[in-house]
Structure formats: C-alpha cells, structure tokens
Amino acid sequence: MSTDDLANELTRRTENAPQELLTRAFFFFCAVLSIVTTVAIIVLLTTEAAKFFSLTASLLGVEGQTVSLVDFFTGTTWQTSTGEYGVLPLVAGTLMVVIGSAIIALPLGVGTAIYLSEYASPRLRSKLKPALEILAGIPTVVYGFFALIYITPALGTVLPDIAFFNMASAAIVVGIMIIPMVASISEDAMSAVPDELREAGYGLGATKFDVSAGVVVPAAASGIFSSFILALSRAIGETMAVTIAAGSQARFLNPIDPTAYLEGAMPMTAAMIQLLTGDITGGGLAYRSLFAIGLTLFAITLLMNVISDLVAARYREEYE
Amino acid sequence: MPSRVISPAGSARHLASIAIVFLDVLPPLVWLGYVLALALPLAASVAIERVDRQLPFLARFGLLAALLVASLLFVPGVVTSMPTVPTGSIIVAVTLGGPIAAIVGRFAAGRLENRRTGLAVGGGSFLAVLGAAFLGSSVGLAALPATILTSVSLVPAAAYVLVVAIDRPGRRIGLLLPAVVFGGALLGAVVVDAMNFAGPNSWIDWGFLTGVHNSSSAAAAGFYPVIGGSIILMVIVAVLAFPLGVGTAVYLEEYAPDNRFTRIIDVNISNLAGVPSVVYGLLGLGLFITYLGESPGTALVGGATLGLLILPIVIISAREAIRSVPDSMRQASYGMGATRWQTVKNVVLPEAFPGILTGTILAIGRAIGETAPLVVVGLPSVIYSLPTDLSSSVGAMPMQIYAWASLYAGPGFYNSAVPAGVVVLLVVLLAMNSVAIALRNRYQREN
Amino acid sequence: MSNEEPTTEARTSAPDRSSATTSVDAGEETSDRAAEPDRTIVEARNIDVWYDEDQALRDVSMEVPEKKVTAMIGPSGCGKSTFLRCINRMNDLVDAARVEGELLLGSKNVYDADVDPIALRRRVGIVFQKPNPFPKSIYDNVAYGLEIQDVEGGHDAIVERSLERAALWEEVEDRLEESGLELSGGQQQRLCIARAIATDPEVLLMDEPASALDPIATNQIEDLIEDLAEEYTVIIVTHNMQQAARISDKTAVFLTGGELVEFDDTRQVFESPQSQRVEDYITGKFG
C-alpha cells in the first residue's frame, strides 16, 4: 500500500458514524435522566412544600391556606381536619420506630454478621447469604400484616395493656426487616478485614471470640457503623409496615418512655399514607402537607446516606 | 445430594401446572395451529443455515421475519378450519409429548453415553404419552389432562429416575427423598379422604386465583385482577427501567470521562437508591399526575413510578456486572480497532449480561412488592378487572393485601384472604429471587 | 512539520493490500534480511509520554524497518510497552496518559488531529501479554476484525488463511465452533495472532506475547513470529534477551527512565553494544 493511501485510511473517521453517535447519545441521555430524577424530586418537594409554609408561600405569591414554619416544627398536634399541622407527634412516632428497631436489629444484625464472617463454614455461608437476601426481598406490606396478626397478639400475652395498633410491634417488625441489611453490609466490612490481623490475634493465644470481638469488630467499625446508618435510614423511610401495625392516630408520645410503645401512634410515613387514603383534594393544604413531610423525610434520609457514604469510604481506604 | 434430584422433579411439577393452566386457556386445535406456525419458519431457518451460510444477515433476517409473520397469519387459520382434525389429546400427545420424548431421549443418551438406550427411552416416553391419550379416560382422568400430565410430568420424572438409577448407583438413595415426599403427600390425601379428617381449608384455590374482590365475603374474594395487574406493572417497569438503567451503567463505565459531571452522577445514583419509596410516590404524584395531567392510578403512572424507584438499583447492579468484565477483553477489542459501541455490543454486554439480568430481576421483584408509592399515585384499592390499556386503572397484589388488611379489616379477611394473598405474592417474589440468585451463582462459578 | 503532508489527491487510488508484497527480501532468511537496505514503516520523532506527572518515555526517536522483526528490550518499567502502545494509540484509553512528539506510520503522523485512533488500530494489529481470546467461537474470534470493519462477503477463506498463517489451522480445523477459551494457553495466543492478522495490518505489535506461556508454546510462538516477518512488520516487546537475540533483526534497548539508549541491528547490539549501560544490562550486571 502506498503511504498516501495509508494516510488516507488513517483519517477515515469512525467516531462520527451514525450508530456511534446514536448509541453514545442514548447512553448519555440515560445518564442525564438520573440527574433529572433527583432534580425533579428536589424541585417538586421544595416547590410544593414552599406553598405549604406561610413564609415561603407569600414569596411565591401562592394564595390560600398556609402553615407557619414555627407551627409546623413545634406544634404538638397533627389533626388535618381542624387544620392543625404540628409535625412533632409524627417525628416522635418515627423516632420510636428508629429506637425500637435499632434495639432489635443492631445487635442481631451484627451478631449475624460476626457469625457469617467468623464462625460459619464457607459452605454454610454460601447458603445463608442468599437466604438473607431473600429475607430482604419480602414486601413490607407482608411484614406489616405479620406484625398485626402475629407480633401484636404475642406481645398481648405478655403485656395485656397493649393496644391493637401499637408502636412496639411496628418497631419490632421494622427491626426484623432491617436485620438483613445490617448483617450483609457489616459482613462485607468484616470480610474486608485482612487475615493478618486475625492471625496476629490468634498468634497471641486469643480465642475465636476474643479475635471476633477484640480484633475484627473494632477493625470493621466504620463499616458496621455505616450499615447502622443505612439501615436506620431505611427504618425512617419505611412506610407500609408501620402504617399497618401502628395505626393512624397521631398521638404525641414520649419516645424514651417504654410504656408509650404500647400505644398506637403515627410516624411520618404513615401520616402520608393516611393523608392519601383520606379524601385529599389536589392542591389543597393537606396535599401540600404531604410534600412538607416528604421533604423532611428526604432531607433526613439524604443526610444519613451521605454520612454513611463518608464513613464507608473511610473503611474502604483503610484496607484497599 | 438430594437437592440435585429434587430440583428436576420439582421443576417438572412446576412445568406441569403451567402447562395445564396454559392448555386450559388455549384449545388444542389453536395450539396446534401456533405450533405449526412457529415450526415452519424454524425449519426454514435451519434449512437456510444448512444450504447457504454466506447469505447476508439482513437478507436472512428479512426472509425469516416475513416467513414468520406470514406463517403466524395464515397457518393457524388454515389449521382451525381443516375439515377433519385429530382429537385434542392426540394433538397434545404429538406436539407436546413428541418434543418432550425427544428431549428425554437425548438426555438419557447423553447421560448414559449410549444412543440405543436413549432411543429406547425416547420411544418408550412417546408410547407412554400416546397410551395416556388413548387410555386416560379409563383410569378416571379425562384424556387431555392425562396426556398433559404424562408428557410434562410423569415421563420426564420417570426417565430421570431411570437414568439416575442406572448411571449413578451412588445417587440412588437421593431419589428416596422426593419419593417419600410425594408418596407421603399422596398417602396423607388418601388417609384424610378415607377417615374423613377435617383438614384445614386452603384459601388458595382456583376461585381465589381467578376471582375478583368481594367486600362482603372474604371467602368469595379473589386475587385475579391484581395478579394480572402486578404482571402488567412488572412489564412496564422492566421496559422502562431495564434499557435506561443499563444505558446509564454503560455510559458511566464505558463512555464517561473522569470529570466532575461523572462524579456528580455517581454520587447522585447511590443517594437515589437510599431515598424512601414513599418519596418516589410523591415524585410520581407531582410529576405525572399534577404536572403532566395523567389520571391517578393508571398502569402507566404506576409502572413509571416503580420504574423510577428501581432505576438506581438497576444502574448500580448493572455497573457492577459491567465492571466485572475483564479489561483484557476490552483491550483486545479496542486493539482490533473496534469502536466503543462495537466493543460494548460485542464484548462488554454479552459478558455482563447474566449479572445485569440478575440485578434487574431482583430489582423488579422489589418493585412488585412495593405498596407505598402505589398508594401515593392513587392506585385503586379495589379493582374488578384488568386494565385494557396503559391509561386505565390497574391493581397490584400488595395494594390488594393492604386494602384487605386495612379497609376491610376484620377476622374474615385476616384469616383467609390476606394470608392467601400474602402467600401468592411471596411465591411470585421468592420464585423471581431464586431464579436471580441461582443465575448469579451459576455465573460466578463459571468465572 | 518535516514529513510529507498527506496529499488529498491520493484519494483516487483504492488501497490494494495484496500488492503490498513487492519487497525484494520477502521470504528470505532472517540474517540476510538484516543486510538489505530497509524501507521505514514506523518512525518515532522525539516522543515523550507522561502519566500525570511521571514521565514514562524521554525523547525517543527510532525508525522501524518494514517486514522485519524489531525487538524492544529493557528492564521492567523502562517504557518499552508504553512505546509499543503509542504506535497504535492504545494509550489514548488511559485518561492520565499524554503523548508529545511525532509518530509516523508511513508518512502520516498518527498523532495528527485528523487521525482517527480507531482507523489506526485497524491498520496496526496488537497481541497482548496474556492471551485474551473473546468468549466466542474460534471462528468468530478470528472473524472479529472483519465483522467490526464490515468486510463484505464470506469470511471463511480469510479465517482459514489467518489460522494457517498463525500455525493453528490444523489443530482447530474441526472445531471452529468451539469457544476460543477451550484452547490451551499457547493455542489461545496463536488464536489472538490469527485474530490480529485477519485484517491484514501494516504493522503487528506484540507485547511480551510469550511471557505467559510454557517453553514449548513459547518456541512455537517464536517460530511463528519469524515466519510472520515475511509478510508483516513485527514489533515485539520482550523482557527475555535471548528471545530478542533469536528472533529479531533490530533491537532497541530501553533503560530505566524511559530512555532509548541503543537501537541497531540485533547482532550489533548483542555483540558490541555502543553504550556501557547497555553492555552492563545485556551481560546481566543490572536489570
């Protein structure tokens, strides 16, 4: 081939061929869509929530009923029929779910993770990990029903005062629900701990328990911590199980009073479902209050995810 | 290893139930029409491959597509209007029993490494199916179910037992487990029947699976519209989320330069995966219903909302699958002068496909178990029919369970309809998840 | 720019690959070929390569003769693989890599703005250190380059010829539909060579093609490379000095820091190197 032909051939552009351009454009479009989704969520939540609050609604020039920021964040009554939109009872309800589920899920989840990572044979682990995944795939409405039909009566045999709808069974069932999440992320973190650390422990004559509790868990601490945050963020956002189990009465309960868990209350997510199954009209104050709660929820969970990312990034750096 | 023995037996049973439902819907003659309509182009494609490998792909594709369309248009009509036709059970025996006998024969020949035994097993199977077609009615079963049962369940199971018994004497003990299970179940049924035990009532019966909601009587309540609704939602979710999710994953792994924009998308997606599902419901409500003016509760709105919900999960799992494709494959392709798209199409996607599929199935399983976003976008809690198009209302299994557990709360529903619905939903989800996990384990072992 | 600009008038003559074998020395003995006056096919002019802040190649200039085996040797990290990957611009795939200088293929600087790296790679084949056949059939592996370049018509003849040239045809003749991954390591590497030459490239780059293979497979690859030089320009990177001495006509010695220290006929380099450092390296005093 003459050199000129070669030069000619080398300058034959391929990257502008129609299928190259089309596919590249399609893939780029897909990626952009994920940004659009986030932006849409934020814009929607903030604009609708802005119409809810008197301070921002006047800035937007929106007419109609509004609620002041102070009333929303400090009010202790949530009663949409009388126009009382105090979010504290809902936040208290959510907090109770978080506290209760944390008491159940954190020790059990970490225990499961320690067992899987340190004690179980590889063969057993290969069977148990998919089982955990399947547990995580059970729909939340099923967990809710489980709480109502089994957990509440079971609690009733021990605590006769318990209400049919109560926070205890809601918190327990959410706890059960997030165990797989805690276990699987913690197990990943523990498996990432290098064997040399374990061998150092064994070399000093430590028992398996000493090594697990004294070496592996501290070394995987940031991963375990990040699993806690993610799981609790899931508990905060959990909707159907708590809606079914905890009822729809927005009581303002004290989350650190154990007897309060015997009563029913309404976490934030349950309040949203209750608003929707009630007769809300599009564009009304109740409709906008949905977005106000949604924005609060989104902000909390986003913050928790970011924190967990930062913590998890630390443990990845430590051992990779 | 008993599980190795159970799984073929179990899947045969599974297939049998599917086949029976299927043929219950489809008359044997119509079935024959479609079997022939599909068999003809298939035979033609084999013939083309044999005769001329050099034919350009487009010509081959066009020819076969035309043949397929023509055949599907005309052959069923011709078959159903034939003056003399064989009976239904003979049709099924030939069209279903024939291929199954062939497969069974091949399997036996392969495992025993003996063509003649395989031939004998295949021939015996076919004879058994034909026998069932003729003799079915004399043992108290109608000819058609007897044929189907024999061909999809009895014959494969018997052949499998035979082959294992001959081929792996050490595994014979494993055959005991399914035998004990099925034998025990049969024995139990006989005993219960003979001694008039009052067993618990099963709520998952034909009436439950094919009936519709009934607010006054839990016993009469059915699950049919929401099973169909969930399947329709699943299809919409898959159609929306699969290409978008895989597309984003391909962009991020294969195209994206390492710049700030890419990192923003990266962080963004991992955070999107952590947003509570009820907030996605609000997104659907605000975006599709308030701003785009769709009516609440339609199949499209429900499917699109669920699609957005699982999009980040699909993206993350697809990225992992793509990342696990060895870089040496890409290097080889680029080194040959392949463009990006050629590399993605020929090398990356085929290699990553099982992983992508696993992630997508798991994500879709999550989508059809979701309730909260569907409540938010206004899916009806009671629905009596399947949607006729994308913009009519659709039901979903978890929605119906929620409605029964809340709106119609009471012992009647708590003790019957709700658990029955939960079991159906769980069976569907566990089946999907098991398929996905099995797929992944198999794929991981290969690598 | 000193090279002849690619002329636009040349577009009329269609590339005719089969007529490229008019070179006088084709088919003759390796040692004889070295003596003939050579035509340069690849010419590097002051190539510098950086990965971020680290300079991997320093001011490399060399002329690679057509239809010869040119070996590049040197201790690990000396930049010999980097240089190889400059020739077909595989370095473009590494975000951090930056190349300066001119690299001429024929008369065209491949780093000119109007050169498409993909078109370049279609004319410059590459074989990697670890055999990397696609998880496709043997046939499809060899036909891959033809597929992606939309070469019309049947590929059977080209697949057969390429496998024959790669000395693999007899072993796989009856199993073309089997996966390329079923083959042994040495067979896989010859499959990769068949794949690379199926599109009839101007230059064949080989990045330590035998280092992952056992001695017998290595021998086969070495014999194959000598045969290939009858039709192709082969540029091979190797860390094995004996291998370079056995099969190459020209040898380039890179030493730590990315410098090309010596480039000459292989016999010259190994028998009487100009530079003391090269002599130390070759006699095993370092590296």
Residues B256 and B402 in one domain: yes
Residues A29 and A159 in one domain: no
Domain that holds residue A116: 73-319
The list of chain B residues with pLDDT below 50 reads 1-7, 447
Contact at CB, A4 and C115, closer than 8 angstroms: no
Residues A19 and A119 in one domain: no
Check residue B201 and report its DSSP letter: P
Indicate if the pLDDT at residue C232 is higher than 80.
yes
Residues B97 and B26 in one domain: yes
What pLDDT is attached to residue B23?
59
Indicate if the pLDDT at residue C59 is higher than 50.
yes
Contact at CB, A30 and B245, closer than 8 angstroms: yes
For A11, the closest of C14, C19, C114 (CB atoms) is C114
Q: How far is C76 from chain B (nearest CA, A)?
A: 20
What pLDDT is attached to residue B50?
64
Is residue C82 within 8 Å of residue C56, measured between CB atoms?
yes
Query: Which of A36, A52, A67 is where one domain is finished?
Result: A67
Instruction: Please count the structural domains in chain B.
Output: 2
Residues A102 and A203 in one domain: yes
Indicate if the pLDDT at residue C13 is higher than 50.
no
Task: For residue C90, list chain B residues with Cβ-Cβ distance below 8 A.
Answer: 331, 334-335
What pLDDT is attached to residue B278?
92
Under 8 Å CB pairs connecting chains A and C tally to 68
Q: How far is A253 from chain C (nearest CA, A)?
A: 57
What pLDDT is attached to residue B1?
35
For A239, the closest of B311, B372, B378 (CB atoms) is B372
For B331, the closest of C120, C128, C149 (CB atoms) is C128
What pLDDT is attached to residue A69?
85
Q: Is residue B201 part of a domain?
A: no
What pLDDT is attached to residue C251?
93
What pLDDT is attached to residue A110?
94
pLDDT class of C32 with cuts at 50, 70, 90: very low
* Encoded amino acid at C187, one letter: Q
Task: For residue B365, list chain A residues with Cβ-Cβ distance below 8 A.
Answer: 137
What pLDDT is attached to residue C15?
41
Q: What's the token pair of residue A160?
A: 């006769």
Comparing alpha-carbon positions, the chain B residue that sits nearest to C117 is: B337
Contact at CB, A142 and B425, closer than 8 angstroms: yes
φ, ψ at C233 (rounded to 5°): -85, 120
For A148, the closest of B311, B378, B405 (CB atoms) is B405
- CATH classification at residue A229: 1.10.3720.10
What pLDDT is attached to residue C37?
60
Query: Which of A24, A47, A67 is where one domain is finished?
Result: A67
Mean pLDDT calculated for residue range A192-218: 89
Contact at CB, A30 and B375, closer than 8 angstroms: no
Domain that holds residue B428: 210-446
What pLDDT is attached to residue A127?
83
Q: Which of B58, B331, B336, B345 to mutate to test the interface with C (most CBs of C within 10 A)?
A: B336
Residues A113 and A162 in one domain: yes
CA B269 to chain CA centroid, nearest Å: 29
- CATH classification at residue B442: 1.10.3720.10
Residues A51 and A84 in one domain: no
Q: Is residue B186 part of a domain?
A: yes
Residues A170 and A53 in one domain: no
Contact at CB, B336 and C195, closer than 8 angstroms: yes
Burial B392-419 (b: 16+ CB within 10 A, else e): ebbbbbbbbbbbbbbebeeebbbebbbb
> Angle at Cα B327 formed by Cα B323 and Cα B329, nearest 5°?
115
pLDDT digits (tens, 9 = 90+) for A135-194: 888 899 999 988 988 899 899 898 888 888 899 999 999 999 999 999 999 998 898 888
Comparing alpha-carbon positions, the chain A residue that sits nearest to B426 is: A138
Contact at CB, B339 and C118, closer than 8 angstroms: yes
pLDDT class of A109 with cuts at 50, 70, 90: very high
Helix (H, G, I), strand (E, B) or coil at C235: strand
What pLDDT is attached to residue C64?
92
Comparing alpha-carbon positions, the chain A residue that sits nearest to C23 is: A1
Query: Which of A23, A48, A67 is where one domain is finished?
Result: A67
What pLDDT is attached to residue A256?
84
Contact at CB, A15 and B287, closer than 8 angstroms: no
Q: Which domains, and CATH codes, for chain C?
A: 37-282 (3.40.50.300)
Residues A139 and A240 in one domain: yes
Residues written for chain A: 320
Residues B287 and B366 in one domain: yes
Task: For residue A9, list chain C residues with Cβ-Cβ distance below 8 A.
Answer: 15, 119, 122-123
Residues B188 and B214 in one domain: no
Residues B418 and B365 in one domain: yes
Better pLDDT: B145 or C70: C70
Residues A35 and A109 in one domain: no
DSSP string, A84-134: EE--HHHHHHHHHHHHHHHHHHHHHHHHHHHIIIIIS-HHHHHHHHHHHHH
* Encoded amino acid at B193, one letter: D
Indicate if the pLDDT at residue C51 is higher than 50.
yes
Residues B120 and B217 in one domain: no
What pLDDT is attached to residue B57?
58
What pLDDT is attached to residue A319?
59
pLDDT digits (tens, 9 = 90+) for B92-103: 788 888 888 888
Contact at CB, A11 and C6, closer than 8 angstroms: yes
Task: For residue C20, list chain A residues with Cβ-Cβ distance below 8 A.
Answer: 1
Task: For residue C157, list chain B residues with Cβ-Cβ distance below 8 A.
Answer: none
Contact at CB, A7 and C14, closer than 8 angstroms: no
CA dist B81 → A34, B33, B149, B341, C25 (Å): 53, 10, 28, 49, 76
What pLDDT is attached to residue A108?
95
Residues B137 and B13 in one domain: yes
Residues B279 and B354 in one domain: yes
For C107, the closest of A7, A11, A13 (CB atoms) is A7
Q: Is residue B204 part of a domain?
A: no
Among A236-240, B75-79, C113-117, C122-126, the range scoring the smallest mean pLDDT is B75-79
Comparing alpha-carbon positions, the chain C residue that sits nearest to A11 is: C115
Quote the mean pLDDT of chain A. Answer: 86
pTM of the complete model: 0.75
Residues B401 and B333 in one domain: yes
Instruction: Please count the structural domains in chain A.
Output: 2
Residues A82 and A58 in one domain: no
For A12, the closest of C4, C7, C116 (CB atoms) is C116
> Terminal CA-to-CA distance of chain B, rounded, Å?
23
Contact at CB, C128 and B351, closer than 8 angstroms: no
ipTM of the modeled complex:
0.88
Task: For residue A5, list chain C residues with Cβ-Cβ distance below 8 A.
Answer: 10, 13-15
Check residue C92 and report its DSSP letter: G
Query: Which of B169, B195, B221 is where one domain is finished?
Result: B195
Residues A170 and A122 in one domain: yes
pLDDT digits (tens, 9 = 90+) for C135-194: 889 999 999 999 888 887 778 899 999 999 898 999 999 999 889 998 999 999 999 999
Residues A79 and A180 in one domain: yes
Q: What's the token pair of residue C1?
A: 């720019």
Residues A262 and A122 in one domain: yes
Contact at CB, B336 and C196, closer than 8 angstroms: yes
Contact at CB, C6 and A14, closer than 8 angstroms: no
